[in-house]
Structure 1
Amino acid sequence: MNKIHFKVAILLFVVVRAKPIRHQNNIVNSHSLECQHAIDHTDITIFLSISPLADRQENNVIWERKIEINWSHGQTEDDDKIFLLPYYPESCSLDNPVLEITPGLLIKDWIRTNISFPRYERVNNDSNSICKDFWVAYVRNNVIMATDCIKVNPSWMSKSSSIIGPQKIRDILIPGTHDSGAYSFIDSALQITTKYATTQEENIFNQLYFGIRYLDIRIQHLPNTTELFWTHHGPITYRPVKLDIQQVKDFLDISKDIVIFDIHGITINTDKYPEANEELKAFLKEEFNGYMLPRNLTWEATFNDLWLYRDEQRMADKGGVIVTYNNDYLGDDSMLWEAVNHKWGNTNQVDDLKIFLDAVMEQSSQGLFNYAWSAMSQLTPTTVDIIGDTLNGLRGAADLVNRNVNRWLHDEWLESANIVAMDFFLGSNVVDICIFGNKIRHG
């Protein structure tokens, strides 16, 4: 859908009453459990995600960030139990769980709880744990079969250097976000008008800290403002891009990983402001000075090449950033790379998205892509969708897509995908699957 249609649809949507979210309340009363011992049972799969759905309830109470528990339903036995816990289940005693469920009684292989994951201005791991706030344990016959948690992954690339170091950028799995700068919590003053514009909840720093390494950035030139360059999604403006760049630098100061800052969309009236394109390039190079990886490394570079450049520039204590630039405006700049190729299904149907991305993965398997590319794993609402709110906003669209992408990526695409870009990424397991997939592909 083009920008003009998007603007018209947003304006019409404001006067249409949004459909309420149907909340699930599937909590079973909890009690303590004494188990025998924990074992590593790899054929049991379980993980936690954060629902993208959010709503305002009565008395202005915000319903948001509900924890979801996901498991491998096909291996469930009648007496299996799943426990959500506020601590790591390192002993055989699972006292005072937050929640207990019996998966064998459920038709689905996931459940949305009424327990909220907290908001973080800046997430961290001061406790030196990769886990944040909640853990889950799968128990069978009083034995812990599998555990997981909501994870932070600030250094997963550097920790996997022996695996991904010899690989080209296009040959590894990289978790990403779509329209990364269009982030906001539900209590934004523009809540209604941004229902079909906001694509993330976590800010840029948090996206990176949770493990995202590809950022899809859209920049517009606003000549009558002090900052000039702003992030946006369609007609909705978010914040000066300088603020998001600072978050990237703050992250790279504490991590040696590589980040792709892909400026895929640039909105400039070049007829009226012909100098704005070069001003944006100069602005980016000034803001990212000391962090950028040069274009002459090319997409043929391995991660070892990227890290070696950082070493040679005496910047080995920091991470590096590849800044790409929309190809229509790029020219022969030495520091700005060609934009990542987006594989965009442009559909509002989950089944059609799967068909499209399967075809892309087949092309990748045949070696037809000699560049970095991203599987854009989200639905595209039509004007009718926005006016009628048929998808319940982009949050509802992500809820339809994300758990499907989990399965597709894990079960079918590990050997063929490159970048996988999600909306509301914590509603998926994309980071863990990419880390796991790189071990399978190159380990």
Structure 2
Amino acid sequence: MATSTGEVTSNSDWMSQLAPEVHDTPLYKLAIPGSHDSTSYDLDINSAIIEPDELKKFSPILCARELVRTAATTQDVTITQQLDAGVRYFDLRIAHKTNDPEPNKFYFYHGLCTRTDVETVFRDINDWAEKHPKEILILALSHFKDFDNNIEELHQTLIESIKTVFGAKLCNKVKINKIISYLKYLE
């Protein structure tokens, strides 16, 4: 809730509590709280080492995976807890496990893959967004590790999963093109 002085009192809904004079401010002019390697709280000690390349050969050794997990954990709270704390920008690095028995599953990674798959985390984000409809979330998907062998099909599968989970909440091409046009106009 915003107080009579305009002070934001709840991080869960800080965007909807911004002062009226800020409502027309473009997002790129706002300081948006974000998290680096947003899902690294969930790294799987049983996952093979994905990076750094110098350590991949040590992947069969448990203490090497433990060392990578310790070094790669940049977040210690879940996505939902980050959202409740006010984070609105998420750095989500996607990986596909080459020999995964479920070839259409994706995971996040930072050195190791996460235990929880991408779709499950997306559903958690979507559930949170349902309860906070005035908040804007930016999900920056990148890296796409081990997509090499089947890049087009894997990307299409991931896109369909995103559309299925988020549906109408997604910013469509028309909205994105308007944003890009506006940014170019400002240059």
Same fold (TM over 0.5): yes
Unaligned runs of 5+ in 2: 2-8, 47-64
Kindly, what percent of the aligned residue pairs are identical? 24
DSSP-derived class of the 2:137 partner: strand
Tell me, in whole angstroms, the C-alpha distance in 2 between the residues paired with 1:299 and 1:165.
21
Aligned partners of 2:124, 2:172: CA distance in 1, in Å?
A: 21
Residues in 1 aligned to 2:42 and 2:153: alpha-carbon distance in whole angstroms: 31
Within a 5 Å distance, the mapping from 1:261-410 to structure 2 comes to 261-272=139-150, 274-298=152-176, 301=179, 370=183
Q: 1:299 to 1:259 in 2, by over 3 A?
A: farther
2:4 alignment partner in structure 1: none
Contact 2:105 2:118 in 1 (8 A): no
Give the structure with the larger helix fraction. Answer: 2
Is 1:160 matched up with 2:38? Answer: no
- How big is the shift at 1:192? 3.3
Single out whichever of 279-288 and 158-167 deviates more from structure 2: 158-167
1:214-272 CA distances to partner (integer Å, 9 max, x unpaired)? Answer: 001001112523252111113x0012011211121121111120000110221243334
Equivalent-residue separation in structure 2 for 1:273 and 1:213 (angstroms):
28
Question: Which residue is 1:205 aligned to?
Answer: 80
Match of 2:31 in 1: 173
> Do the aligned partners of 1:217 and 1:263 also contact (CA within 8 Å) in 2?
yes
CA-to-aligned-CA distance 1:50-103 (integer Å, 9 cap, x gap): xxxxxxxxxxxxxxxxxxxxxxxxxxxxxxxxxxxxxxxxxxxxxxxxxxxxxx
Matched residue type, 2:164 = E
Whether the 8 Å contact between 1:268 and 1:276 is mirrored in structure 2 is no
Q: Deviations over 1:354-411 (max 9, x none)?
A: xxxxxxxxxxxxxxxx48xxxxxxxxxxxxxxxxxxxxxxxxxxxxxxxxxxxxxxxx
Counterpart position of 1:225: 101
Aligned residue type for 2:36? H
The structure that has the greater radius of gyration is 1
Q: Is the 8 A contact 2:126 2:165 kept in 1?
A: no
Q: Which runs of 5+ in 1 are unaligned?
A: 1-127, 129-150, 302-336, 338-369, 372-443
Cα gap change, 1:295 to 1:288, in 2 (>3 Å): same
Given the alignment of the two structures, is residue 192 of structure 1 paired with residue 70 of structure 2, yes or no? no
User: By how many angstroms is 1:297 displaced?
Assistant: 1.3
- The two structures, once aligned, show a CA RMSD in angstroms of 2.7
Q: How does 1:96-115 map to 2 (within 5 A)?
A: none
Equivalent position amino acid for 1:276 in 2: L
* Matches of 1:174 and 1:232, distance apart in 2: 23
Shift of 1:184: 4.3
| Cα deviation, residue 273, structure 1 | 5.3
SS in 1 for 2:143: strand
1:244 paired with 2:104, answer: no
> TM-score normalised to the size of structure 2?
0.70
Displacement, 1:173? Answer: 0.9
Structure-2 residue corresponding to 1:426: none
Give the 3-state SS of the residue equivalent to 1:222 in structure 2: coil
Q: Residue 204 of structure 1 contacts residue 248 of structure 1 at CA under 8 Å; is this kept in 2?
A: yes
SS at match of 1:167: coil
Amino acid at match of 1:237: C
Q: 1:268 to 1:278 in 2, by over 3 A?
A: farther
SS in 2 for 1:289: helix
Shift in Å, 1:169: 1.4
Query: What secondary structure is seen at the aligned counterpart in 2 of 1:219?
Result: strand
Q: Assess if the C-alpha contact under 8 Å between 1:168 and 1:299 holds in 2.
A: no
